[in-house]
Amino acid sequence: MKNYLNQTDKTVEDELHDECGVFGAYDFDGNDVASTIYYGLFALQHRGQESCGIAVSDTEGPKGKVLAHKDMGLVNEVFNAKNLENLKGNIGVGHVRYSTDGSSVRENAQPLVLNYVKGTLGLAHNGNLLNALELREELSYTGAIFQTTIDSEVIAYLIARQRLKVGTVEEAVKGAMQKLKGAYSLIVMSPRKLIGARDPFGFKPLCIGKRDNAYFLSLETCELDTGGADFVRDVIPCEIVTITKDGIASDTSLCQEKKARCIFEYIYFARPDSDIDGMSVYESRINAGKILAKPHPVEADLVVGVPESGNAAALGYSMQSGIPYGNAFIKNNYVGRTFIKPKQEQRESSVKVKLNVLKEAVAGKRVVMIDDSIVRGTTSARIVSLLKNAGAAEVHVRISSPPFKHPCYFGTDIPSEDQLIASGHTVDEIC
């Protein structure tokens, strides 16, 4: 979910953008789902730490009555026992959000709730649209009045417009998808249906879970584990799944042969205890470390990973190389990811606060430092300095992903090649 109106003012970070997290639930027995969605969002907090929200409805109650609560802050800051108790409904969607500089306001928090002629829609969106501005202008010329600066509202309006032309909400979602260009996972709540959709290439993940007589749509499988749900299957790229009391209906008519997974879902974005499209994130990181060790051996005393996403790759490097694996960093989990800070000086400060080095672990040792990726290189340089200042005799940097040379507007949201150190430098020059 990108704020495309403020791209020129955006400060580029040394970390990759992790857009948002989405979760949906439908309890056929009529039980309230707000608390389940809350725990699902809690498991997705790594996807966004700026705002969050939950919208619910009662499938047996009046059509169009949606109860919602959203605000700025972490999941446990925005929600408490009282406001969760007030969210009465057996169908609902939830969202955690990360945004770029200039767009961190409550109005842009999700889920979006849209009232229109045919009823009410609740929408949670993760991803980037390439043609958001074009679609926004088109909708504005035909009477749409936008309340936010995010492309998610464009999707909501498209679905509402399509719904006036077709017989069902899922057909409206299908019509909207034919106009979208980009990478996305969508969860749409109508008064009696929960709908999930995934972009044509499969850049963004989405899966289905089940617990007792309740079904879930989840960005990652770790959300299902948190709620004690069983994994049913992944939503395939460009599939539309519709969950009703009659079960799950699938529309694959828009599916195409070409697929293009986002490698950074495995390298960085997803939690290591998630599986995406049948592949364990943890195992993929282990394997990346093993592969890295073969062409880039080194004589060293210790292999360490930069927490959290570098740890598994470091373990894999250790397993392949035979160099002992250890912990060199103590992470303050209350700081959050460094790219959340909108200004460079704030990011620099947060790196220092977020990581501290165990001097006893590295003093006098030749250390191999494994990180998941390198964007501009500034954060890596600061971490190397931390290790050297703690007494490391040598620091050998190894990156578990290939050189990041070109912008990707589908997911990582890096605006230009000149912000990528690997674009204008060889590996030797970077080192």
Q: Would you name the residues annotated as active-site residues?
A: 20
Tokens of 322: 């035979």
The span from the CA of 317 to the CA of 311, in Å, is 10
Dihedral sign (CA 357, 376, 13, 181): negative
Tell me if 20 sits within 8 A of 126, measured CB to CB. yes
Return the closest-CA partner of residue 50 out of 84, 101, 112, 119.
101
User: What single-letter amino acid sits at 54?
Assistant: I
User: Residue 16 in contact with residue 212, Cβ under 8 Å?
Assistant: no
Orientation angle between helical segments 281-293 and 311-321, nearest 10 degrees: 40
One-letter identity of residue 146: F
DSSP 219: S
d(CA 72, CA 87): 18
8 Å CB contact between 87 and 36: no
Cis geometry, peptide bond prior to residue 191 (ω within 30 degrees of 0):
no
